[in-house]
Amino acid sequence: MDNKNIMIYGANGYTGELIARAAVAQGYHPILAGRNPQKLRSVADQLNLPAIAVSLEATETLERSLQDVYLVIHCAGPFSSTAEPMMRACIRSKTHYQDITGEIAVYEAAHSLGAEAEAAGVVLCPGTGFDVVPTDCLAAALHKKMPSATHLALGFDSDSGLSPGTAKTSIESLGVGGAIRRKGKIETVGHGQLTREIDFGRGSKFAVSIPWGDVATAFYSTGIPNIEAYIPMSPKRAKKLKRLNSIRWLLGTQWVQNWLKSKVDKSVRGPNEERRKEQKTWVWGEVRNDRRGERKVGRVITANGYDVTVSGSLAVMEFLLTYSGRGGYFTPSMLCGPELVENLPGSSNIEIKIS
């Protein structure tokens, strides 16, 4: 541990700081890094840790900063802009990479860089937080019980509030639409287009499909060609969401995106520790083989999404600190196994039943 430097990039953000504080509490001494030297120094001074202010656009400086770093936990969004520059820098500096993204485009980019990463002996494992550890592990466990599955649906029910970064990611999706995977290909669908009743673990609820990261990652974890993801939503709110389809072109324009994100900066704060302790998340999954008339349903309960992101990121970090396998692209379950989620604080065991 002592001779394997860890860097947390974006450590001055809400979730990055939570991860940094938890790492210190577990006896680690990560290097804190980010783009804002003043905010970064404030966190570093409180934790008595070294800090490096470096822009992702400063490619050569970034690569030099990573030369003696064994592993990066990347926490600086929006990941649609920040993840690929950091992944490429990690490949060139032979530094393992993980992040806390939930963005489909980032997972696809990481997968496309898999061969380069493997040649360099570097692990790329995006999505080591709530996006997508619980759902990815549940998907892998379900597939293990039904290897012949042709359809996979996942979802979760949570009372967790949004962090600023998560809120901004949601805003970016407004101008794009939803996403599902059909016959192995990712397809764009309208907001609120797919709905169904789901018992996530605390009673049947009306649910709406969302462009969750598993539309990308679960395909690589399981090979199942048809994938959807859902969250509970009131029918009234779902109708309002569906109306946004007519103005998606407007919601995707830069000035509207900037305006909405500026409102987030002014009003959204991540939940405090007391609030997080009160929250749990019910994660649900379903695999089907319609030709055989087979269906299995799985569930797992976890802590709130932000605590899962902290504990999940550190669990994957600790796995990589003793890792001696090949490089390349991995989902969390591909790297650590589906039992990863069960070993996180506040998690139940995965339960799978024939339905």
Burial profile 268-277: b = 16 or more Cβ within 10 angstroms, e = fewer: bebbeeeebe
Same domain, 294 and 318: no
Same domain, 13 and 113: yes
More confident residue, 283 or 192: 283
Its domain, for residue 350, covers 133-305+346-354
Average pLDDT score over residue span 79-101: 96
Same domain, 29 and 77: yes
In CATH, what number is assigned to the domain containing residue 73?
Answer: 3.40.50.720
Instruction: Note the pLDDT tens digit of each residue in 164-211.
Output: 666 777 777 787 888 999 999 999 999 889 999 999 999 999 999 999
Average pLDDT score over residue span 287-311: 95
To the nearest whole percent, how much of the chain has pLDDT over 90?
Answer: 78
Does the pLDDT at position 113 exceed 90?
Answer: yes
Residue 199 lies in a domain: yes
Residue 239 lies in a domain: yes
pTM given for the model: 0.93
Please identify which residue in the block is written with the tokens 């695999």: 287
Instruction: Note the pLDDT tens digit of each residue in 51-79.
Output: 999 999 999 999 999 999 999 999 998 89
Does the pLDDT at position 279 exceed 90?
Answer: no
Residue 181 lies in a domain: yes
Residue 269 lies in a domain: yes
Would the CA dihedral through 36, 130, 260, 87 be positive or negative?
positive
Q: Determine the longest span between alpha carbons in the chain, in angstroms.
A: 60
Residue 317 lies in a domain: yes
Does the pLDDT at position 261 exceed 50?
Answer: yes
User: What total of structural domains would you count in the chain?
Assistant: 2
> Mean pLDDT for the chain?
92
3-state DSSP of 164-206: HHHHHHHHHHHCCCEEEEECCEEEEECCCCCEEEEECCCCEEE
Does the pLDDT at position 1 exceed 60?
Answer: no
Same domain, 143 and 45: no
Same domain, 329 and 263: no
Same domain, 9 and 52: yes
Same domain, 199 and 313: no
Please identify which residue in the block is written with the tokens 């009372």: 159
Same domain, 277 and 154: yes
Contact present, 273 and 328 (Cβ < 8 Å): no
Contact present, 207 and 196 (Cβ < 8 Å): yes
Residue 95 lies in a domain: yes
Same domain, 312 and 287: no
In CATH, what number is assigned to the domain containing residue 301?
Answer: 3.30.360.10
Quick one: pLDDT at residue 166? 65
Same domain, 197 and 269: yes
Could you tell me where the beta strands, DSSP code E, fall in 221-316?
226-232, 280-289, 294-303
* Partners of 73 in the β-ladder: 8, 98
Same domain, 216 and 173: yes
Does the pLDDT at position 268 exceed 70?
Answer: no
Same domain, 261 and 141: yes
Contact present, 138 and 278 (Cβ < 8 Å): no
Residue 236 lies in a domain: yes
